[in-house]
Structure 1
């Protein structure tokens, strides 16, 4: 503890606190003063906690400190492990509670600063699920999570850049090297200017070279634009091909579809999707949320040591032992009412499992159907590329349709079974709840009666005695009932079959002419459909040809317009350049010096001379600063040493004066004693 106090006092006396404590003064601090010291240390970690606790309620202070300590992942030591004790000690400013907190925070101040900074952006705000039902709130929460992930990636990149090894010395060396290179380039430019001035028509040649450079840059930009437009054209052609392929598939699918089949298919999909959305997917989502919540809880927990793991293992053993005791107690009790309810529970669980397995099988079948459809489209496209014809025709297509019909009938039967099972499952759940309520009420009444009569526990023993005999009687009764039920069921089925046959006989007679009429209508429909397909194919080919011609004319028109605009721009640019060149020649030839000073050449020469003079002055100033840097630093050091020397002399003089005054006082006191 003494080492801990020494460390705390040493840290508080240093920057940035400068408290000027010693062990005695720090140990004698009042609770409010100790809380203020802890608040100052936490304010150094997170500046928003820089407040005076005298102006704040104690509950608010404790809540704020507990919040920041929870964010910093502080765990109280073993003697203050109880959270209620820790909170109470933090409110009253107890030394055994606050000293470990100060020691822990002062040990890792820089690490905790970083954690407090990150907590402002990474501590997630928990939004209740009922508020997330609103689309605006859900969208805002999604954007908030995306921004949090973006901040994580940016912070990691920033940390990597900080640790990548860039230093200011290297940057300064690079800057000095670039300055030297700049000076060399300026000298080289001056030499080239002097060489060019001796050549005839050098101004015109420079102007032509500048125009050539501008045209080359423009040529590069136009080439990039051309490449981008080619890419856009290629992507547009690909999108057009995909759209045409989808249109053809949709027309082919719509040609063979009927409204009744589409309605039935849509009803089945709606029922299946409603089951998935209302029952299956919420359960899976809830399980995923629970696992995510547990994982987040594990992540937010601080790192565990061997002692924490041993405590958790001990708790797990205790809980397992309690569970085993409860199971043994339940087995010893062995209530017959529970046995009856267990049958219903088992049936309900079996039905629920069957329902889930059927839904999974249906989902897998749908996924397999989608995959097979994609594979069929791919194979048919390959066959069209090779042979130029469709794959399924004639008898093969009929067999494929009959197979699909058989699968649809099987699916309808399974779906009907699933609906029956779901209805039975709902009924069993309701009966189970009713039986549970009745059993609980009767059990409570029986216990109260036994307590009044003074024979508590008699019903348990009586039920244990009667259970064996009742099981045998129930089995015999069940066998007799099953035989009677089976005979009655056979009679009912026979009567129902006879009734159905008699009821369906007139319907079958009416159905025969309708079947013949249906066959005639199907033949007429096939003929009309063949005529429609041939006419549609001809119109489609004519339309594609017209579209290609229109597309070619539009491209030619756009190319002509772009060429016209580019020629106009080049003409205007050339006129502007000619006008500027004529103005420059006029300004340069005119005898008036004021007008000549307005020429571009004169302005550039003046600017070059001014910059050269400024550069010479700055170089001379840099040279003088470099020459006087060493003597100035030496003189400054000598002056600081002189100040220290005078300060020490002053201290010695004051100390000597104090000693002389103390000696005089002592001498005067001795003389007084002698007089007495």
Structure 2
């Protein structure tokens, strides 16, 4: 509350109020002074509210302020019971009622000024239906409504012009400049006419110049037609190329196709298209129509301020709360049949959503496939233009790939055999090295043994020598046999390696040629790719430049068209207003009384006089009712007392009759008993 009062005081101390309040002086204001402050703020928003509160009746003040606050769409806090307290607080100048109103008004003064200005012209006067039966009143009311609609459109145009940056001064300058140019052109034409009139046979020369201009225009028109026909021919050639490519692809697709597969594919396409036409497209169309209707409704409504947005947000929150309550109630009921149906509904909605998603995915895939086919056709055209050779397609490309794969498998096998030979050769070399090392070790051991026994350099005894010689001969024989075996094995291995080399020689030769050809093709491909990239970059830069130029020219064209249409609309509206003003002036100045009665001014003056007379009669009637109100109320009270008195007498009379009848009945019973 203190922040609210501080905000009010700060704004009241500023222009245009200049109240020079502080928190203490503002809080100590009397109710009448507080109402006067509120009236000053309302008068700043609507100048018609400039009134001294002390000279006006409290009822009139409250009625006037409440009507203006209703026009400004002020919503007091609370419910319907608080509305009566709000009215009472406004009449007596209560602070809890006045402070929120001042805070709301001072927050959005400019917006409320505009709303009050528009309400002065857009609040429709409610004319009773019995008055509308008169033709004059009905025509006047219809004209009044037309003028209100015209004011709405003109105000919207004015706001658009204010926001668009155009001003009347600029338009006037443009009009004056165009009029000056027109006058200069007219003078120049006159000077040229005078200069040409002195030349002999100027008519024939003018005719020739006219014919020359006509022929030039015709030449330009023919050139334009020629360019259009060239463009049409180019587009037709592109269309023919696309159709030929489609025909080729369709023939290729239908080469190994069967009737059953074609029928199945056609049935699937028909199902998909029927689903798109009967379910998806109507839903999308209905959604678009709803969205369009909603947008039209939003456009037709007046501009909304922050208060309206807050009000809408509060309504949305209330509706959401009600929806949540209804859902909770439904869940609490927990009907089994309804639960089963909700489960099936949920499954059906999930399936429908999946179906829609798959349909959208299929549509996107088809579009992507079409774009890729177009891109492939464009790339093939570019490759054909750059290289001149036909690009391999379909079976030819498959055969080429299978041939390369077979060659690669043969190459891998040969390479594996060579690797095995190399491994075996390395193994044999390692065996030879191991045998040599073992022989050297044995020799060193023999020398160490002779050194230990002191007979180094001498041999063993004869027996030992004979045995050693025999052993040596055996070892030599064994060595000879092993060496012969090893030499035979080496010879066989060499012959096998030579055979394998001779068998692999043509393959290696062919592989070298293929490698060389592959390098040449790779180099050529890199060169073509570089050329293509440079050409594509140049074309892309040219295309971007052309797009920028086209975009700029379109923007200029749109600006010129909008300016032209705006000028035409302004001229038409001014012509209509001028025509109405002239008709009104003619009717007002005309000596004929019948015509003068048709003037709007006369009709309005007549209606004003009738309403004033009616208001005077009603005021007199109100005065008479006020004067006779006291005696009439006393008379009503007397009649009510009289009615109550008569009712009491009636009750007493009925009660007396009942008692007398009871006594008579009782006496009759006693007489019967005596008898």
For the pair shown, which has the larger CA radius of gyration, 1 or 2? 2
Normalised TM-score (structure 1): 0.32
Normalised TM-score (structure 2): 0.32
